[in-house]
Each structure stands twice: as C-alpha cells, then as structure tokens.
Amino acid sequence: MPTESPIHLDEGEVGTAVFLARPNRFLCILEIGEQSMEAFVPNPGRMNEILFPGKEVYVRKTSAPHRKTSYDLIGVEHDGVLVSLDSNKPNRFMKRLLNQHESTLFGEYDTVIPEPPLYGGRADFRLEGVEGTKLIEVKSCTLVQHRRALFPDAPTKRGTRHLHDLVMAKQSGLADEVYVVFVIQRPDVKRFAANREMDPAFADALKEGFDDGLQVYALRTMVKDWHLVLLDSVPVDLV
C-alpha cells in the first residue's frame, strides 16, 4: 500500500506530485520523492491524454473525517496550459455565473434553483422568471484534440439520458427552454463537438436534441487561483 506523502500542506493548500497509476476511476497513486500516496480523482473521465505515468500534477490537501485519502487530484499542466480536472467544479462555476448574471446566454430570469427534480432524477439548474421555466444541464469537458474540445472522453449512458430528459421536458411543456452547457476547463480551444468516436449514442442524442429545441453551448474557461473564469463561448459543431 502507498505510504503518506511527505508533502507538508495545510488543509486546502495545493502542492505538486507525480502521477504513477490509476487503479480505478476515482483513485490514483502519486509520488513525491521516493514515497507514494493515494489521492481521490474527482472526475470519472479517462483523461488518458493528460494523465500518464511521470506526469506532474496538482493536489489539494483535505482532512475530512469520512475520507479514505488525504489529497484530491485537482489539475495538471499540459502543453503549457493549466487544466482543471475536478468534474464538480463546472457546476459551482455555473451556479456563480447564473446567480451573478454573468452571461446573457440564458435570457432573463429571477430565480436560480439548483438540482431540481426531473423524471426521477435531477437537472443541474432551473431558472424561473418572466420568460418562463428553463432547465440547464452542465457537463465538464477536459479532452481537447487539435484545438477542438470533445465530450465525452468515456461512454456515458447517463449523459445521453440527461439529453433525452431535457428534450422531453420541453416537448411536454414542463420547461419553456432547455440547455446543455459544456464547461471546457482549459483555454486552448477554438471549437467544441460531441466525441462521436467515443460515444455515438451521445453524439446522436445531442444532434437530435438540438433539432428538437435543445440549446447547446460550450463555454471556454481558464483556471485562476483554482477557480474557473469565463473567457467566452466557442462554436459548437453538431456532427
């Protein structure tokens, strides 16, 4: 078993480590010096293109009592670009963006409701206001090829179901507008597309959803002080 790392970090502080292996989706083994440690991976994606043995990564110290590990894997620098790896961060980013009305993409609204119930599951956000009810699903994106962001980087039946639920909500009158927003956690992109090679069912659902009124946006962000900062939206290729 890996031993505790000699990184002397206080709670919440960020340090560097070397990536060694990933025994499962949510656990990785990291090394500093000649010692190794286990860290939580807050991202179910494969991320093979940016996480490989010998890669320097960023970790944050945490000491929550229920945790089995003392560190979270939170980022990596790849080709000179800092990439956030936390798939929960886009939802926190969107909550702040919506509450502070930092984007005009979603029209006018008065109320932001996180995690509203939807067909036995939950959407990420519901907006209420003079323009009616709007539902938003948020997806984290870290995979980039040839300056084009791609989602997903692993097959996602759950993600496909989310798209179908949004379209059903609009068609049934449960929502007036429905959105899926891909938050790209790195700035080195010019466009976005569904990763058809990885998950053709998701790509089909996105294209069909768009044809049925689903609004699709991709937001380019950068990491600053380990928070996501909105740069702009990029064109979406529906292929």
70, 93: one domain: no
Q: Is residue 110 part of a domain?
A: yes
Alpha helices in the chain (DSSP H): 89-99, 157-171, 200-211
Domain that holds residue 126: 89-237
Q: Is residue 35 part of a domain?
A: yes
| Cα separation, 138 vs 94, whole angstroms | 8
92-145 pLDDT per residue, tens = 999 999 999 999 999 999 999 999 999 999 999 999 999 999 999 999 999 999
Work out the burial of residue 14: count CB atoms within 10 Å of its CB; fewer than 13 is exposed, 13-18 middle, 19 or more buried: middle
78, 95: one domain: no
Least confident segment among 4-13, 16-25, 175-184: 4-13
pLDDT band at 239; cut points 50, 70, 90: confident
pLDDT band at 208; cut points 50, 70, 90: very high
Q: Which of 215, 150, 224 is nearest to 189 (CA)?
A: 150
- CATH number of the domain where residue 161 is located: 3.40.1350.60
168, 187: one domain: yes
142-156 pLDDT per residue, tens = 999 999 999 999 999
Q: Is residue 206 part of a domain?
A: yes
**What percentage of the chain exceeds 70 in pLDDT?**
95
E-assigned strands of 101-147? 111-114, 117-118, 121-122, 125-129, 132-141, 143-145
Q: Is residue 1 part of a domain?
A: no
* pTM of the shown model: 0.93
22-66 pLDDT per residue, tens = 999 999 999 976 789 999 999 999 999 999 999 999 999 887 778
